[in-house]
Amino acid sequence: MFYTKNVPAWERLVRIAAGVAGLVFATMSWGVSGIAVTAGLTGAVLALTGLAGFCPMCALAGRKLKAGR
């Protein structure tokens, strides 16, 4: 791997759930709500960082997982 995971398991689950919710909202309100594109992009990023277990912004802030997690 080229990266070290910096998102704990509980946060990964929350990110995936929030990402899916954002994508569902975006698909349901596409063309109706102006915020649908933003919700879709945010949902996609959250879901991908949750699936990968790596967040580039957390890495820039210096966040690391404790040993054994």
- Give tens-digit pLDDT for 31-46: 888 899 999 999 999 9
Give CA–CA dist 21/18, Å, rounded: 5
The mean per-residue pLDDT over the stretch 34-59 comes to 93
State CA 63 to chain mean position distance. 16
- Cα Rg, the chain, nearest whole Å: 14
Which tokens belong to 8? 């704990």
Please give the pLDDT value at position 63: 87
Is the confidence at residue 61, as pLDDT, over 80?
yes
